[in-house]
Chains A and B, each alone.
Chain A
Amino acid sequence: MYRIRLHGRGGQGIQTGARILASALFVEGFETQDSPLYGAERRGAPVSATVRAARAPIRERGLPARADLIAVGDESLLGVAAAGVLRDADERSWLLIRSGVAAEIWRSRLGRSERVATFALEVEEGAELPLVGAACAGAAARMLGVVSRASLESALERELAALSAQARAASAARAFAAWDELAALAGCVTEEPAPIGAPLPRPDWVDVPLDPADVAAPDIRVPLTSVQVRTGLWRTLRPVIDDALCRRCSWLCSSFCPDGAISIDPDGRPCIDYDHCKGCLVCAAVCPPHAIRVEREAGRATEPEKVG
C-alpha cells in the first residue's frame, strides 16, 4: 500500500491536492482513500491530508502510522514542531518539499542522507486557487510512477470541476509543471510491502485513576495560558515596523490588531509579538505613514528540526 501525506497551510488547497492525487490513482485502477485532518484550522494554520492507494480494498483508516511520501506545500512548516510534518518520517519515507532551495541543502538541513526532493512554485499571496495542493498532487503522482499523465489530467478535471475554466487551467498548469519537474524521480516512491505476521507489542494501557472532581473537570484555573499557543506559525506574510517611519502614534496598529499581538513599549514604540501575530496585516493596512512593510515569511523559515 502507498501511504502519502500532504502538508500545507489552510487556504493552499492541500485537501484538494489529496483529492486530485487519490482521484488519479483511482483512475489508474487503484483502491484509494483520501481524508483531511480536521481541527480548528484557519487560513494560514498548518493542515494536512492523507492519501492511501492499494491494489486490494483498504481497511486502514485515519492517520497512518508512517508515510511513504510526505509532500510539503509550505517549507516554513518544516521548522514547526506542532505541524508534525516529520513526526513519523523514517528512512523509507520520501520527502517532497515545495522550495526554491536545492534538495541537497534540505538533506543537510534535515540530516537525511537521501530521499529528499524539491520542486519550485511561486504563488501569489492570497491566491484563492488550490495551486499549491494541485502542484503537490502532480509532483507526488510523478514520484509514485504508477500514474499516467492522462490519469492526472482526468483527476484534475474531476476534482476541479466546480472552478471556472480559467481557474481550472491555472491549477492544472501548476500540477503539470510539478509533474514535469519530478521526471527524473519517476517511480522512486515504492509501495510498502504488507507486514508479515510478527506479534504486535501490547499497548501500555493504564487504569485511569479516580481523580478528585476539581482535577477531573475540563476547567482552566490559570489565566492567559493561551499565549503558550504559537499562532505566529500561521503567518505566511510578516508585518515589519520601520522604526524610521513610525510616528509613535502608539495606538492604531496596537488598537486594531484583532489578536492583541502589538504592544507599546515604554518609549511609545509598537512591538509586534511574532509568536502570536497571525499575519492578517490589519496593522499595515491602518498605519497612516505606511511604516509597516510586508515581508514574505517562507524565506525566513526557522532552523528545521533534525530528523531521527
Chain B
Amino acid sequence: MSDADEPTRYRRMQDLPSTHLLGSGTSLCAGCGGLGAFRELYEVLGERTVVVNAAGCMSLLATHPFTPFRGSWLYSAMASAPAGAQGVRDALDILIAKRRIPADEDLDVVVLTGDGAASGMGLSATSAAIDRGLDFIYLCYDNEGYGNTGQQSSASTPHGARTATDRGPRGYPGVKKDLFALWVANRPAYAATIIAAEPVDLARKVEKAKRMKGPRLLLALAPCPPGWGFDPKDSIEIGRLAVRTGVWPLLEYADGRVVRTKHYEPRLPVERYLERQRRFAHLFEPRRDEQTLAAIQTAVDEACARVT
C-alpha cells in the first residue's frame, strides 16, 4: 500500500483542523471563495511549505510588513510561478543532497495562482513544470476572470458570463478552458477539483495530494462576490449550487482515470446557479435567453456524462 492509499483523517466536518493556520488580516475581499479554499487547503497542508505566488488577487496576501503565513512565501511574477517553484525545489534538493542542510529543513513547494495566469500567461511554465515532473502542488483559485483588476474575461470565463470586457447582451462568447482536462492529458501524479463549500472533500484531496510526489493539481472554483455579482454571505451557497448543478463536478484523477468524488443526484438545473449571479442576469432579464440557457445546461449534462 502506498502512502497515498492510507486511510483519510477527514470523514466528517468535525474531523477538519480546528486551528486556523493562515493568519487573518489579509486584504482579500469579504466572502472571497478563493481565500476560503486556500485557507482550508493550508490548514491541511501545514506550515512546512513555501508558497510561490503568481500575480493575481493573492499577490497582496502579504504586504510588507504583514504576512498571513506561518510558513514561507515567494512572490514571483504572473507568468512563471511554476518556474519559481522549480528553483526552490531544486535548491532544497541540492542543499539536502550536498548535506548543507538537514533533511528536516525540507519544505513542500506550492504554486498559488489565479485562473488568468493559469490558463493564459502561465500555461507554458505550468506545462513545462509537468513535463519535468516537478514535485509540487499547484493550487489554482478559479474565479473565472481577471478578478484583481475588476473581472475582465480570462480563458477560464464561462460561456455567456458578463465581464468587464464582455458587456454586450450575450456576455463572454468563448467557452471555459478546461484546465483540469489539460492537466490530465499531461498525466500528472494527481489532479482534483475542489471548492471551499465542500471542505471535507477538499481536505481529503489535499491530504492525498500531500502524500504523493510529482506534479499535483488542485483546482478550486472560487466564487467571487464582486466579480460574479452576489452578496458575500452567499459565497458558500453559490459554491454548493455549483456542485449540485454539475457546473463544478468534484473530480479526482489518479492512477490514469478520472472519478467523481461526490455525487448529488438528481442534479439541480443550472439555472438555480446562474440566477443567483449578476453576471448571468441578462440570461433572465428583460426576457429569458432560452437558447443560451439550454446551451449551458446541455454542456453541463454532457460534461457530467463523461465521468462516473
Indicate, yes or no, whether A interacts with B: yes
Instruction: Determine the chain B residues whose CB is within 8 A of the CB of A275 once the complex forms.
Output: 24
* CB <8 Å contact, B64 and A218: yes
Instruction: Determine the chain A residues whose CB is within 8 A of the CB of B26 once the complex forms.
Output: 226, 229, 231, 259
B58 to chain A, nearest CB (A): 12
* CB <8 Å contact, B66 and A220: yes
A148 to chain B, nearest CB (A): 34
Q: Is B18 an interface residue (CB 8 A)?
A: yes
Instruction: Determine the chain B residues whose CB is within 8 A of the CB of A279 once the complex forms.
Output: 30
Bound Cα distance A168, B266 (Å)? 43
Bound Cα distance A264, B20 (Å)? 10
Given contacts A259-B35, A260-B20, A281-B233, A226 and B25 within 8 Å (CB-CB)? yes
Bound Cα distance A282, B226 (Å)? 15
Instruction: Determine the chain B residues whose CB is within 8 A of the CB of A44 once the complex forms.
Output: 30
Q: Is A284 an interface residue (CB 8 A)?
A: yes
CB-CB contacts below 8 Å: A212-234 with B = 218, 220, 222-231, 234
**Interface segment, one of B67-75, B88-96, B151-159, B254-262:** B67-75
B223 to chain A, nearest CB (A): 10
B190 to chain A, nearest CB (A): 24
**Interface segment, one of A62-70, A193-201, A203-211, A250-258:** A250-258
Q: Chain A residue with minimal CB distance to B20?
A: A260
Bound Cα distance A260, B22 (Å)? 7
Q: Mark B24-64, 1 if CB is under 8 A from A, else 0.
A: 11111111110110011000000100000000000011111
Instruction: Determine the chain B residues whose CB is within 8 A of the CB of A126 once the complex forms.
Output: 231
Instruction: Determine the chain A residues whose CB is within 8 A of the CB of B18 once the complex forms.
Output: 250-251, 254, 264
Inter-chain contact total with CB atoms closer than 8 Å: 140
Given contacts A223-B69, A251-B14, A258-B39, A276 and B25 within 8 Å (CB-CB)? yes
* CB <8 Å contact, B27 and A40: yes
* CB <8 Å contact, B68 and A226: yes
**Interface segment, one of B106-114, B234-242, B289-297:** B234-242
* CB <8 Å contact, B65 and A220: yes
Q: Is B199 an interface residue (CB 8 A)?
A: yes
Given contacts A256-B199, A258-B36, A263 and B30 within 8 Å (CB-CB)? no
* CB <8 Å contact, A258 and B33: yes
B140 to chain A, nearest CB (A): 17
* CB <8 Å contact, A280 and B68: no
Bound Cα distance A285, B20 (Å)? 20
Given contacts A255-B199, A258-B32, A286 and B236 within 8 Å (CB-CB)? yes
* CB <8 Å contact, A224 and B27: no
Instruction: Determine the chain A residues whose CB is within 8 A of the CB of B20 once the complex forms.
Output: 254, 260, 263
Given contacts A228-B25, A259-B35, A282 and B16 within 8 Å (CB-CB)? no
Known: A259-B30, A261-B24. 5 other contacts (CB 8 A): A42-B27, A223-B67, A251-B13, A251-B16, A254-B20
Name B's A-contacting residues (CB within 8 A): 13-14, 16, 18, 20, 22-33, 35-36, 39-40, 47, 60-71, 196-197, 199, 225-226, 231-237
A-B contact pairs, 27 of them (CB 8 A): A40-B60, A43-B30, A43-B232, A44-B30, A45-B27, A126-B231, A220-B65, A222-B65, A223-B23, A223-B69, A224-B23, A224-B67, A226-B24, A226-B61, A226-B66, A227-B24, A229-B25, A229-B66, A235-B30, A255-B199, A256-B197, A257-B36, A258-B30, A258-B31, A258-B196, A280-B225, A282-B236
